[in-house]
Structure 1
Amino acid sequence: MSLRKRADGGEQPSTLGFLKLRIPFVHYKLELPDILQGAILCVVPLSISGLMTSVLGIPFEVAVAFVVINNFLFMLHGHFGDPAVSGWITAGIPLYVAFLSGYPEGDARILALVALQLTVAAVFFAMGLFKGADVLVRKMLMSLKAGILIGAGFSAVMTEFSDTGRVWSMPITILLGATLGFFMLFSRTAAPLRERYPMFRFIAQYGIAVPFLIAYVFGILIGEVQAPSLQWGWVSLPFGEMLDSYTVFGLGWPSYQYFLDALPLALAAYVIAFGDVLVIDSLFKNADKVRKDEKLVFSPRRNSIIAGIRNLFHGLCAPFISLSGPSWTGGQALVVNRYMNNDRKAMDSYWGGANSIYWGMSIALLLLPVVSLFKPGLNIGLALTLLIQGYLCGYLAVEMLGKGSNLQRGVAVIVGAILATKGAAWGLGAGLILWLVLERDWLAGDSRTASGAAEPAGSE
């Protein structure tokens, strides 16, 4: 099989028409830097296993099996026409934990999570099949869009720096990793260093993988991180125990009351997830300005349908506490940054990077030496991801508001603050009220055009 070439400025080749199936070595090249980066960053998905064990009472080995399934499902996006580097609905994790903690430990919490995940799947399907996601991206008021991004950014950073946040579990290690990671990805100094020094360019292409490794080793040396205990072989995946003890096939179907309880949180989770859709849309617009050789087509509708499929599968076969969302913001930034900082010769297609990062991560999760090596660094990986998410959400919101008015900026800040402290439903409600009271000109008609709702580049 040989790689199918694209015309300059066109879309990467695919097959199966609307499904846009892309197969490795046929429709995209595997990218070694992204494979290695994904293998190292397997600590990020592994980090959720701690919550799976503490909140749901799932044994670590079963939690890892859930993580492996979750990771392979991520690849549905990149192989069926959605350029998103998919992920969880991360900013809402504290809300899901609080919801589940309201049920007795044991089967009740598992059933509550099943109901929540299936309800979230239904919301994603509804928004995708009836084009609600496309409409929201095009028509949502700028102040609400920016406010959601600000709130998601605040939530991510506040979670890490709260009294019980991950930063304080190993402060020197995590802050060192964050400083190096931010420098590699976003510093003004890093760009000219890439141009001048081939060695720095080689290191920088691995994104936050190198900062993570440096921080991890340093943390072990200063005693903040426990030294790993290497184990050999393959990771055990007890699928039989998982299906019998932690899914509807063994526990039965949740009662309707579970679904009623889950509905408000499912809607709030979608609002939070919509912030990731806005981030993806903005990042791809920026990438299109730099890489003229390839056209990236992002469809919020397609993204929502695939996210719905992932949540449906998890809800039935492997309930997952972080839910399945449109994008892993940190990973999205890594791939887009490498794509923008290289030409076609160095990185032929965006799709190679977006898919390779998950090939590397998913395979690494099956290797017991890799999992045992990085297990003590789980908090570092998740903390770096959330801090990068906070930064991206913040700068994209400010960039968006640069085209708006002072009224929109003020409303966005209030929406973001309320969303971060009281949840998505409160934030969105406050935003709609403030738009009605402040932004809408009741004497001159609908002020929607003044809200600057932008058309997404290349949406289908």
Structure 2
Amino acid sequence: MSLKQRPDGAEQPSMLGALKLRIPLVHYKLEIPDILQGVILCVVPLGITALMTDILGIPFEVAVAFVLVNNFLYLLHTHFGDPAVSGWITAGIPLYIAFLSGYPEGDARILALIALQITVAVLFLGLGIFKGADAMVRKMPMSLKAGILIGAGISAVMGEFGADGRVWTMPITILSGAALGFFMLFSETAAPLRARYGFFRFVAQYGIAIPFILAYVFGILIGEVPVPQVEWGFTAIPIGDIIRDYSVFGLGLPPLQYFIDALPLALAAYIIAFGDILVVDSLFKNADGVRKDEKLVFSPRRNSIIVGIRNLIHGLLAPFISLSGPAWTGGQALVINRYMNNPRKAMDSYWGGATSIYWGMSIALILVPVITLLKPGLNIGMALTLLIQGYLCGYLAIEMLERQSNLQRGVAVIVGAILATKGAAWGLGTGLVLWLVLEKNWFASSPAPAKEQPDAGDAVTEQG
């Protein structure tokens, strides 16, 4: 039991005034179901180690230490008044890979990532502190926002199916895992199965964890995945090596040109991440309508400031290739659905679940047996993550363009294609030029409505 009890319908107790510090077992109970979910889902953050070793040349043991640091930084949110189950800026991972691949292997790529992460940190901190986030995203042309998502989706799928893509390292295993994951998460057939049978609901609530485990075991049985060599012990964080080889205190600050090169991609990453903020805000409003016994307060400003702090810590000490984002939508959905579907007696406070999922994940990452057991299958976890991310980016972009004109749809496709093949600077630059030349009505006294009169493309469609 937590020592501090809240009045019915109020916020969960906290301390330090506006900081809203909450401590486990003092201000909320730990939730065993969410701890267990976190243990199972540790395969998701471990998947990023494959990219850190391949793209950045970071040894696996150091990459695991980076993941562990990243996981503990997630807890800043729920310990300081932000209810978000935070995560990466996942949709942009293919864009970050393309950006970093433009630099020589070695220290240059590490410095490029440091420049990108510090630039992202400055954006989040600045827009959070000065309340500019809403205005920036509201004024961004819809064609650019959708185009960024299209580009990220195309990049994700292209990267996995390219000549050197992860799919071809263990094709039967990864494709079977992807088929199962897509079926359970998105299939029209699976939806009624989830409604009717507890087994399918159980599988679905764990996201890609169970498809990963089944594909991993299947891969070992058919010989595509090596048999794991389990080791014992606890994860070490080699502080001296990290400071010397990967931090600004050992490598120095990146050259100014690196920051200039990183700025367009940092803007794209911010725009992608802001979509997560909007989704999370909507989820908490729904939860407030269901659980009347607790008041949840989500502040995009507080969220942005904490995300900025996380990115700054990583940028200075342990650059992280997926960057730090405002929310992990999958984990957020798991926690908030359990919270909404249980009374107070079964789950006293939302904060217990939101924090427990990362306590469970962090504990699992400390245990070397868990890490070595899963290590041979990390490419599977990363491939599943990026393929599903590509799907999500694609349908979200199309949904954003549903009420837009054919002109805006065309601009979005061009922006997405250029962004996926030439990088964020070319994509955003082209998008701005197309918006100025094609979309902007220089003679109108007021902005044109989103849905215009049928243009040439509409006429062709109607005649067809």
TM over 0.5: yes
Conserved 8 A contact 2:87-2:325: yes
Contact 2:95 2:155 in 1 (8 A): no
CA-based RMSD of the aligned residues comes to 3.2
Residue pair 1:232, 1:369 contacting (<8 A) in 2 also: yes
Per the alignment, residue 70 of structure 1 pairs with: 70
The answer for the alignment partner of 2:253 in structure 1 is 254
Q: Are residues 1:381 and 2:376 paired?
A: no
Within 2, Cα distance between the matches of 1:337 and 1:189?
A: 21
Query: Quick check: which has more Rg, 1 or 2?
Result: 2
Say how many residue pairs are matched: 447
Contact kept, 8 Å, 2:92 with 2:269, in 1: the verdict is: yes
Tell me if the contact between 1:137 and 1:278 (Cα under 8 Å) persists in the aligned partners. Answer: no
- More divergent stretch after superposition (144-153 vs 294-303): 294-303
Partner of 1:457: none
* Partner Cα distance (1:96, 1:147) in 2: 16
Equivalent position of 1:217 in the other structure: 217
Q: CA deviation at 1:148?
A: 2.2
Q: Calculate the TM-score normalised by the size of structure 1.
A: 0.84
Cα displacement (A) at 1:203: 3.5
SS of aligned partner of 1:214: helix
Match of 1:406 in 2: 406
One-letter amino acid of the counterpart of residue 253, structure 2: P
SS in structure 2 of the partner of residue 443 of structure 1: coil
Which residue is 2:146 aligned to? 146
- 1:195-214 to structure 2, matched below 5 A, reads 195-214=195-214
Asked whether the equivalents of residues 166 and 379 of structure 2 are also in contact (C-alpha less than 8 Å), the reply is yes
Q: Is the contact between residue 14 and residue 27 of structure 1 (CA under 8 Å) also seen in structure 2? A: yes
Alpha-carbon deviations, 1:333-369, whole Å to 9, x = none? Answer: 55566667x4556766654444333222211110011
User: Match for 2:168: what amino acid?
Assistant: W
Name the CA distance, whole Å, in 2 between partners of 1:349 and 1:387.
Answer: 34
Q: Which moved more, 1:65-74 or 1:183-192?
A: 183-192
User: What is the TM-score with the length of structure 2 in the denominator?
Assistant: 0.83
CA distance, structure 1, for counterparts of residue 303 and residue 152 of structure 2: 19
Q: Residue by residue, what CA displacement relative to the aligned partner does 1:8-63 show, whole Å, maximum 9, x if unpaired?
A: 6x766655454344444455554444433332332332233334344444333222
The secondary structure found in structure 2 opposite 1:292 is helix
Deviations 1:69-121 (A, max 9, x none): 11111222233343443333445445545555565655454444433432332
For the pair 1:270 / 2:267, whether they are aligned, the reply is yes
Query: Which residue matches 1:292?
Result: 289
Distance in 2 between the 1:184 and 1:30 partners?
29
- Distance verdict in 2 for CA 1:146–1:104, change over 3 Å: closer
Q: Supply the distance in 1 between the matched residues of 2:146 and 2:139 (Cα, whole angstroms).
A: 13
Q: Which moved more, 1:193-202 or 1:89-98?
A: 89-98
Cα contact 1:330–1:386 (8 A) shared by 2: no
1:426 paired with 2:423, answer no
Deviation at 1:275, TM superposition (A): 1.2
Gapped regions of structure 1 (runs ≥ 5): 453-460
Verify the 8 A CA contact 1:148 1:275 in the aligned structure 2.
Answer: yes
- Compared CA separation, residues 373 and 427, structure 1 to 2 (3 A): same
Return closer, same or farther for 1:367/1:304 CA change in 2, 3 Å cut-off. same
Give 3-state SS (helix, strand or coil) of 1:447's partner: coil
Name the structure 1 match of 2:457.
none
Deviates more, 1:290-299 or 1:400-409: 290-299
- Pairs within 5 Å for 1:107-118: 107-118=107-118
Contact 2:5 2:13 in 1 (8 A): yes
Deviation at 1:389, TM superposition (A): 1.8
Alignment check: 8 A CA contact 1:120 1:267 kept: no
Q: Contact 1:88/1:324 (CA < 8 Å) preserved in 2?
A: yes
Give the residue type in structure 2 aligned to 1:386. Answer: L
Q: Please tell me whether the aligned partners of residues 283 and 336 of structure 1 are also in contact (alpha carbons under 8 angstroms).
A: no
Give the equivalent residue in structure 1 for 2:461.
none
Identical residues among aligned pairs (%): 69
Matches within 5 A, 1:133-212: 133-212=133-212
